Amino acid sequence: MNNFRKTIIIAGITSIMLCTTAFATEINADDLDTQENSQAEIINEDNKVQSVEIQVPEIQETTPQEPVQQGKVTVNILNVRSGPSTDTEILGKLSLGSTFNIKTLSNGWYEIEYNSATAYVFAEYVKIIDKSTESPSGSNVVDYAKQFIGTPYVAGGSSPSGFDCSGYVKYVMANFGIDMPRTSTDQYSIGVRVEKSELMPGDLVFFKYSSTSYNLNHVGIYVGDGNFIHSPIPGQTVKLDTLSSGYFSKYYYGATRVIK
């Protein structure tokens, strides 16, 4: 083997040994100065102290973010605008009970995020949600449900412009964070079954007109004192009725409690 090849081989082996030694040495990061390009001392295989340069990334300080407030719409329809003024473009509309995150308040307008963009709503028609409050009571549900008395029945409707029976229940319960199925039959599977004699405000009451059909036909919200609120039939509006009336007493099927 000529001297040139010997030189290359020896140099290569030396490099491999040095790399192996360096990577096999354990260094405690807590003992290093937290500045970029810090120096550390290690002992190699010949028991000689060797200084090496350690790359330490710059530590980025983070500032804790303020908790995000949530707002709830208190009117039937609230315009969402591109700027904090009634002269700005309307980007969309939020319905009664809709919730959203609030960024800031400025001159009577809340800055919010709407469809991944910055938008504004008039603060007078927004209620701040207190996250520290307890779970809603049945009375809270009843009070909210009564706001829609007089809303017309609309087949398939589930908004303040018109409700059918199960759409009405679904909309009311959604205001309290409860995601109900869309039909009265499916809604009967949610919650705890309760006897008629044990009904409490906020319980859901169900009716079935046919003894041969599996499906339930109607649902409403019990308000207390033997009364319930519901969206009855085409041509009528959301209203109060009594469970003891001949019609509803005859077809009463059962009740569930979804408010704990």
Res 11: pLDDT: 41
153 and 100 in a common domain: no
* Same domain? 90 vs 187: no
- In tens, the pLDDT along 9-53 reads 334 444 434 444 343 344 444 444 444 455 555 555 565 556 655
What is the pTM for the complete model shown? Answer: 0.53
**206 to 190, 192, 234, 248: CA distances (angstroms):** 12, 13, 18, 10
H/E element holding 6? Answer: helix 3-24
- Please indicate, yes or no, whether residues 193 and 124 belong to a single structural domain of this protein: no
Nearest partner of 201 among 182, 185, 225, judged by Cα: 225
- Give dist(CA 149, CA 204) in Å, integer: 17
Range of the domain at 110: 69-128
CATH number at residue 122: 2.30.30.40
| 179 and 241 both lie in a single domain | yes
192: helix, strand or coil: strand
Residues 153 and 121 in one domain: no
Number of domains in the chain: 2
Q: Is residue 167 part of a domain?
A: yes
User: Angle of helix 138-146 relative to helix 165-174, nearest 10 degrees?
Assistant: 120
The tens digit of pLDDT for each residue in 211-249 reads 888 899 999 999 999 999 999 999 999 999 999 998 999
For residue 87, what pLDDT is reported?
95
CATH number, residue 199: 3.90.1720.10
- Give the residue numbers marked as catalytic: 165, 218, 230
144, 99: one domain: no
**Residues 93 and 143 placed together within one structural domain of the fold:** no
148 and 194 part of one domain:
yes
- Asked whether residue 252 falls in the same domain as residue 151, the answer is yes
Under a CB-based contact definition with an 8 Å cutoff, are residues 93 and 78 in contact?
A: yes
Q: What is the mean pLDDT of the chain?
A: 80
**CA of residue 176 relative to chain centroid, distance:** 11
